[in-house]
Chain A
Amino acid sequence: YAYDFVLSFVTMQEVTATSRHYVDRLFDPDPQNVLQGVIDMKNAVIGNNRQKANLIVLGAVPRLLYLLQQSSSSLELRTECAVVLGSLAMGTENNIKSLVDCHIIPALLQGLLCSDLIFIEACLRCLRTVFISPVTPVQLLYTDPTVIPHLMSLLSLSQHTQEYITQIFAHCCKTPEHQTVLFNHGAIQNIAPLLISPSYKVRMQALKCFSVLAYENAQVSMTLVNVLVDGEQLSQVFVRMMQRDKPIEMQLTAAKCLTYMCRAGAIRTDDNCIVLKTLPCLVRMCSKERLLEERVEGAETLAYLMEPDIELQRIASVTDHLVSMLADYFKYPSSVSAITDIKRLDHDLKHAHELRQAAFKLYASLGSNDEDIRKKITETENMMDRIVSGLSESSIKVRLAAVRCLHSLSRSVQQLRTSFHDHAVWKPLMKLLQNAPDEVLVMASSTLCNLLLEFSPSKEPILESGVIELLCSLTQSDSPALRVNGIWALMNMAFQADQKVKVEIVQALGTEQLFRLLSDPDTNVLMKTLGLLRNLLSTRPDMSSHGKQIMQAVTLILEGEHSIEVKEQTLCILANIADGNTAKELIMTNDDMLQKIKYYMGHSNVKLQLAATFCISNLIWNEEDGSQERQDKLREMGFVDILHKLTQASDPNLCDRAKKAMQQYLA
């Protein structure tokens, strides 16, 4: 490069001089000379990036655009201008930026209104090159609402217009809004016939359009299944495009289309075109024979396809040794490539992260439901080690995918007891939780919830690592998902825990935060908080410290507009309170609360009746101090009559519970 630079420095002046000459000729008063100048410029810039950069610096673009837009220019001149601009766009990203800054897009779009096909094609070719560059904001295609319908109308003109326009659509359809705009302007009807075009390029770009249009779009997908192309259903056209003798790019894109249609609910997951065609095609894309990019896309698409369907997961898990095939994704860059081939090493390095995250995603999807598959995955060579190191990789994408994989596997009781413990996965997980973007935190904390389940041997070491603080801070997050996971993990932690742990939790969380969570707008958060309370108050709670507040909270919830589940949980808390010695008084002295219990004993929902009866039964339990007074007071309040009535209840549990309570009076 250094040598190159010196050389360029020497010749710079010379090049600039000739470049200036080209630009000067654009201003010649004789239109014939201008035309010849543009043609010469065209020949000079082909394949010469430096020349292109020079011309741009010297201001050729505005002049070319001016000539292109002038109605006084000859059609030939205008076409040649579009061709030169297209050539300039083929250069570096900087070139594209300069062109876009000169407002090339509206000028070329304006040019499309001309009636000359050759000129239109030249404009489209240039537009295509500009739009497929990552530096061009796609929104520019949608600023003028007349552009999309006009492009649709140009589709019928020639194979070239078809190729360029579909390529533009395929690259510029990035959001649901874009999908809707294209859909509303008849993209499906206009593009579907192009799938059987004699030109491979047109077929391929049309196919790509459908893949971006159908992605997570039920409206498009539902429409697609009913489209006929030359009398054939679109899904069958896609199936044909997945035949094994078709180019890989075509097979892969067709598989994506069918995957998206399936995930959008337009094709059933047990349809043959999914089970026998799309799934095997995507598995093939993961094979070692494919290019690294294809393997990444294949694995990601497959993961997406089968995520919600256990049957597809089972089939994929036995297809072509997929589980062990994926292990190969972790072997890049391979040791061989490092020595022999620098280019190859560079290529491998570039794709290594992508490969790893794709493999983790696919493992996560494969193992999300079936215990046998999870076992198979964890038994794959070095799998747990790979996840562990994936959790601390620099690439966020890999970390996220690794933790997703871990989360999927953590649904297995078996794995929690064995491989998770053996590999101390909690350690990197805890580290990950210290400092990570929300996306990663959600997955990591959700995994942590599972690791804190009572049968998990990792629970102990996690507790000792000071996780409580961390979880409490999660409950203060703005993200409802993180709040749920934080409180959920605490709930799991408090389940049948030592008094010491419970105290720690209460102290770390603080009553204020607890009450905030009890009034959380997210029902899930509320439920888990009540769950936490229930776990904290089980085993004869000592209510001396926060009794009053808790009673307040319970009253609040019972009075509020909440679901049956929330109220049931609350009554259960009350029953737990009624089980503790000092706590009983809190209820007995609160007539308001007793009236509420009475009300719920007569509620139409059996669950609530049961929970309320449980509560009363705890209050009148014989063997405890002061039971006589409590029994008397409650009799006065009419509870005996209610209990008596409940012994006749149709629900056997309720009836049983009421009878047991009545026995306390008889004894």
Chain B
Amino acid sequence: MSGPSSGCGFLMSVVVHGDLALSEQEKELNQRLRSLYPAVSDQETPLPRSWSPKDKFSYIGLSQNNLRVHYKGHGKTPKDAASVRATHSIPAACGVYYFEVKIISKGRDGYVKYMGIGLSAQGVNMNRLPGWDKHSYGYHGDDGHSFCSSGTGQPYGPTFTTGDVIGCCVNLINNTCFYTKNGHSLGIAFTDLPPNLYPTVGLQTPGEVVDANFGQHPFVFDIEDYMREWRTKIQAQIDCFPIGEREGEWQAMIQKMVASYLVHHSYCATAEAFAKSTDQAVHEELASIKNRQKIQKLVLSGRMGEAIETTQQLYPSLLERNSDLLFMLKVRQFIEMVNGTDSEVRCLGGRSPKSQDSYPGSPRLFNSPVHKASSSQTYQTSTYYIHKFFFSASIGKKNILQKSGLLHQKKTFLVPKSTCFLAAEVEMEVDHFSNGVSESSSNGFLNGSSTHGIDLEELDSAQSKRQLCGGSQAAIERMIQFGRELQSMSEHLRRERGKNSANKKMLKDAFSLLAYSDPWNSPVGYQLDSIQREPVCSTLNSAILETHNLPKQPPLALAVGQAAQCLSLMARTGSGSCAFASVDDYLH
């Protein structure tokens, strides 16, 4: 999705969605892998999705998206054995990993030896069947034996042949492996497995063909049921974890954590009551807590202008010393203006939607992940506000669109008349837009480029009830003006303190809201969600607390963060139980 760099950076983010035309199968695969292995980070440790065309012996042929394996050697002696590994090793964070292989053909008759299905480490000789060498494990179809890093097998299960589906399950919690045949578990085959094994198959007979299923299709064996058992086991282990003789301390510690959390988030009344009933001292003056509470309330209800003002009054030097924080608050203010909730636009007559008026819930323990818009969705987009912004921001060069990279990327920009909501101004602005585009396109519209395979939805879909800046023209003007101020503040900051990519992205994302006729339902619309006030609020709160020499994070959040960090450390060091101990499960 990254295009050529452009002179007008913030437009880049407009071009977010519909990046790849994923096949149905891939979609299903992604979905299944996500639901089977939610703890796996695909960036850090990608899951096996197919056989590797690079990590195989020459007698192996691959087809059908590298899922089908066939043998093309002579198959006369064991020296003709050939294996292939999957693209990636099995991440420990799977907890329980499973794949299946269907025997499409056991190969020509008269060849006694045939396939092995199993696991091997990186670097194990591929001119062999899985199981024959060190760090290699296999279950062989001809005799039903299991081979555990040895040339001689042990009786293990039944033989298998054409039409059978053989599954291989790796338990990364106790480092064992069992196989399945046609959906029936055959029992433990290997114990004490090393980490980082790759799914592997080996063939040895001309005509042998097998298909792998790494999650492309539903599995024959009910692996979810097996995972349920282990999830229950791990959770029981956690629940029954002995606290030991420090039980009294334990309770006091928890009470302390809760109290500090309440104070941190300025729930003064609750904090007071709690401290009283648990015999604790509060380490901050009540007035100070109340001040912070006031500011937080403003931020959480979207009244950023007032929040900034109040902060400046109560903590005069805070924002002066911390220009990045101020910038962040201002960007949020801009977003709230678009939202129609900021005090500055509200007083201009903008009617803010009630649901946005006040903050609905209490702050979360820690920042919830940003919900990224799915890239395959289609949006009605309008460059209307971008335009207005461009031209009135006096950058007004005619080739601005090319420069911005919009046209280079041939992305979809539709400005259908029917979707524009400020009826009075629309005609003019659309014309304006058309003018801008006409240099590169014969009509005023650029239709979706087929290379990106975006389906264009019907354009008369339901209009959002929410209106930009609460629907007031004056408020929009104010917002635009504020945006310009923000832009210059950003430039000023850059000159003074050098580039700051976080700030740059923040501004870019915020401005991108204007690229859509319905910003709330756009790929960048998540910014308008009131949940996004939480990180702003907690950053500001932490900054205030820091000036008072108080911890900028409550111990409770710290503990939660530590637990999450521990889990990812476990994933990296190969402890599979992290898969079934998500911190989220314990935060109700």
Query: Which residues from chain A sit less than 8 Å from chain B, CB to CB?
Result: 243-245, 276, 280, 315, 318-321, 325
Asked if B225 and A320 sit within 8 Å, CB to CB, the answer is no
Asked if A318 and B157 sit within 8 Å, CB to CB, the answer is yes
Chain A residues whose C-beta falls within 8 Å of the C-beta of B188 in the assembled complex: 321
Nearest chain A residue, comparing its CB with the CB of B228: A245
Asked if A318 and B226 sit within 8 Å, CB to CB, the answer is no
Q: Residues 176-189 of chain B: 1 if any A CB is under 8 Å from the residue's CB, otherwise 0?
A: 00000101111110
Most A-side CB within 10 Å, residue of B157, B184, B185, B232:
B184
Chain B residues whose C-beta falls within 8 Å of the C-beta of A244 in the assembled complex: 225-226, 228-229, 232
Asked if A319 and B185 sit within 8 Å, CB to CB, the answer is yes
A276-B228 in contact given A318-B157, A318-B158 (Cβ < 8 Å): no
Asked if A243 and B183 sit within 8 Å, CB to CB, the answer is no
Chain B residues whose C-beta falls within 8 Å of the C-beta of A319 in the assembled complex: 184-187
Chain B residues whose C-beta falls within 8 Å of the C-beta of A245 in the assembled complex: 228-229, 231-232
Chain A residues whose C-beta falls within 8 Å of the C-beta of B485 in the assembled complex: none
| Least CB distance, B465 to chain A, in whole angstroms | 37
Chain A residues whose C-beta falls within 8 Å of the C-beta of B222 in the assembled complex: 276
Chain A residues whose C-beta falls within 8 Å of the C-beta of B226 in the assembled complex: 244
Chosen A-B contacts, 5 in total, with CB atoms closer than 8 Å, are: A243-B225, A244-B229, A276-B184, A276-B222, A321-B187
A243-B184 in contact given A276-B222, A318-B157, A318-B158 (Cβ < 8 Å): no
Nearest chain A residue, comparing its CB with the CB of B225: A244
Chain B residues whose C-beta falls within 8 Å of the C-beta of A280 in the assembled complex: 184-185
Nearest chain A residue, comparing its CB with the CB of B226: A244
Query: Which residues from chain B sit less than 8 Å from chain A, CB to CB?
Result: 157-158, 181, 183-188, 222, 225-226, 228-229, 231-232
| Least CB distance, A163 to chain B, in whole angstroms | 24
Asked if A318 and B181 sit within 8 Å, CB to CB, the answer is yes
Most A-side CB within 10 Å, residue of B187, B188, B222, B229:
B187
Nearest chain B residue, comparing its CB with the CB of A322: B187
> Could you tell me the dominant secondary structure of chain B's interface residues?
mixed
CA distance A75 to B229 in the complex (A): 48
Chain A residues whose C-beta falls within 8 Å of the C-beta of B184 in the assembled complex: 276, 280, 315, 318-319
CA distance A4 to B331 in the complex (A): 81
Choose among B157, B186, B187, B228 the residue that contacts A243 (Cβ–Cβ < 8 A).
B228
Most B-side CB within 10 Å, residue of A276, A315, A318, A320:
A318
CA distance A295 to B397 in the complex (A): 82
A276-B183 in contact given A244-B225, A244-B226, A245-B232 (Cβ < 8 Å): yes
Chain A residues whose C-beta falls within 8 Å of the C-beta of B158 in the assembled complex: 318
Asked if A320 and B228 sit within 8 Å, CB to CB, the answer is no
| Least CB distance, B176 to chain A, in whole angstroms | 13
Chain A residues whose C-beta falls within 8 Å of the C-beta of B228 in the assembled complex: 243-245
Nearest chain B residue, comparing its CB with the CB of A321: B187
| Least CB distance, B185 to chain A, in whole angstroms | 5
CA distance A319 to B178 in the complex (A): 11
CA distance A318 to B186 in the complex (A): 6
Chain B residues whose C-beta falls within 8 Å of the C-beta of A320 in the assembled complex: 185-187
CA distance A243 to B225 in the complex (A): 6
CA distance A321 to B155 in the complex (A): 11
Chain B residues whose C-beta falls within 8 Å of the C-beta of A318 in the assembled complex: 157-158, 181, 184, 186
| Least CB distance, B389 to chain A, in whole angstroms | 55
CA distance A280 to B157 in the complex (A): 16
CA distance A541 to B549 in the complex (A): 117
CA distance A321 to B225 in the complex (A): 19
Nearest chain A residue, comparing its CB with the CB of B222: A276
CA distance A479 to B232 in the complex (A): 53
Nearest chain A residue, comparing its CB with the CB of B232: A245
CA distance A486 to B231 in the complex (A): 57
Chain B residues whose C-beta falls within 8 Å of the C-beta of A321 in the assembled complex: 186-188
CA distance A276 to B182 in the complex (A): 10
| Least CB distance, B19 to chain A, in whole angstroms | 38
| Least CB distance, A222 to chain B, in whole angstroms | 28
Taking A318-B186, A319-B184, A321-B186 as given, write out 18 further A-B residue pairs in contact, using a Cβ cutoff of 8 Å, ordered by the A residue number: A244-B225, A244-B226, A244-B228, A244-B229, A244-B232, A245-B229, A245-B231, A245-B232, A276-B184, A276-B222, A315-B184, A318-B157, A318-B158, A318-B181, A319-B185, A320-B185, A320-B186, A321-B187
